[in-house]
Amino acid sequence: MAGVVWSIREGKVGQFDAPELVSGYRSAHPVREPKLDEVLQLPEGLGSWRVVDWTLTDRIDAPGNVLIVERAG
């Protein structure tokens, strides 16, 4: 089974229209998806980001699957 395709956006809780950092992101873990407070290592040298919110549609490849992140300190 393929994982969810996420749009990763830098913002605050509930800010699902925040600026996009990465499109087409898939979890590095083969079985589970990112969860709140998890720190992700984003591609292309973007560094470490903490998941602060998320929303998921009924399709794994929908553009409405969004992870909201903030820089991990």
**Which residue range forms the structural domain that includes residue 47?**
1-7+27-73
Buried b (16+ CB within 10 A) or exposed e, 37-61: ebebeeeeeeeebbbbbbeeeeeee
Instruction: Classify residue 39: in a domain, yes or no.
Output: yes
Instruction: Classify residue 16: in a domain, yes or no.
Output: no
Average pLDDT over residues 9-14: 98
Instruction: Classify residue 15: in a domain, yes or no.
Output: no
Query: 30-71 pLDDT, tens per residue?
Result: 778 999 999 999 988 999 999 999 999 999 999 999 999 999
Q: Which residues contact 10 (CB under 8 A, 6 or more apart)?
A: 18, 19, 21, 49, 68, 69, 70, 71
